[in-house]
Amino acid sequence: MFHIFAFRCLCCCCLVGVFADTDAVKSVSVKEGDSVTLNTNLTEIHDDDLIEWRFGTNGPLIAKINRELDEISTYDDVLDERFKDRLKLDNQTGSLTIMNTTTTDSGVYEVIIRGSKTTFSVSVYAHLPIPVIISESPQNSSSSCSLVCSAVNVGHVTLSWYKGNRLLSSISVSDLNRSLSLHLECLDDSYSCVLNNSISNQTQHLNTDLCHTCPDCAFCCHIPEAVSRFRLVISALVGVATVFIVVYDITSRKVEQKNSEQTSPSSSDSHR
């Protein structure tokens, strides 16, 4: 009885493992124009193997290897010839290579081997443009500078402002035309705007000629620090002066009280 129970448990574990592998989705990212290979993880194909590649869940057949018939085929005429002359099958492993990828190649790919299905989620990222920084402040303005960094014709990226290596602000962009603004009291060349996705990035460094808040930016950038120190010094001087006044007032009162006590008997005798 125990052996039967153990055998059933073992079968259940095996089935769970099969279904886990079947349901697993492998994510693949590639830059537009590069090639991407979807691996079957096979070292060799058996004589009776049938390997089918499909675009989309239960989608159209785009490539097939039938070892029993010694057939290796790619189907360029499906999906409006989207993959024309860009598919390549490895006759040893059955892996599929998509050459000269485009953003329209993004999607789900399925490979079926011996009845077992493996799913790939492919993301093809377009080349990122260099973000553009413009000023929205008048050139002769003495107020804080308002800068806007923008990127167009992008999707699923992040647009960020940095000062050196320190992140100041960022937004995630899913549509095609977004911008990120930044208000500054003073400018220097350590500011930059970065556009990035999961596999690449583009950086635009700030041109300080866009707007100046004072003639000497190096001096301007130290004004807040100088003002803070000046305020600390003034606060300390005020504190010392307050303590001095309080001590002086207390001492004066004590002296007056002592003098008053000393003169009181003399005034009484004179009255007599």
- Give residue 264's pLDDT: 58
Sign of the Cα pseudo-torsion (257, 260, 264, 265, in order)? positive
Give the type of residue at 40: T
Nearest-angstrom CA–CA distance, 206 and 147: 10
Give the type of residue at 147: L
pLDDT at 114 over 70: yes
CB count in 10 Å sphere of residue 136: 13
Percent over 70 (pLDDT), the chain: 72
pLDDT tens for each residue of 131-140: 999 887 665 5
The β-bridge relationship of strands 36-38 and 132-135 is unpaired
pLDDT tens for each residue of 52-88: 999 998 899 999 999 888 899 999 788 888 899 999 9
Is residue 184 within 8 Å of residue 147, measured between CB atoms? yes
Q: Residue 98: which residues within 8 A CB-CB, separation 6 or more?
A: 35, 36, 37, 38, 83, 86, 87, 105, 122
- Residue with more model confidence, 54 or 143: 54
- Residue with more model confidence, 173 or 192: 192
Q: Please state, in angstroms and as integers, the Cα–Cα distance from residue 136 to each residue in 105, 194, 204, 254, following that order.
A: 39, 19, 17, 65
CB count in 10 Å sphere of residue 119: 16
pTM for this prediction: 0.62
Q: Is 251 helix (H, G, I), strand (E, B) or coil?
A: helix
Category of 156 on φ-ψ map: left (φ > 0), alpha (ψ -120 to 50) or beta: left
CB count in 10 Å sphere of residue 2: 6
- Give residue 213's pLDDT: 53
Q: Please state, in angstroms and as integers, the Cα–Cα distance from residue 80 to each residue in 62, 77, 84, 120, following that order.
A: 12, 6, 9, 22
Nearest-angstrom CA–CA distance, 108 and 229: 61
- Give residue 140's pLDDT: 55
Nearest-angstrom CA–CA distance, 168 and 155: 22
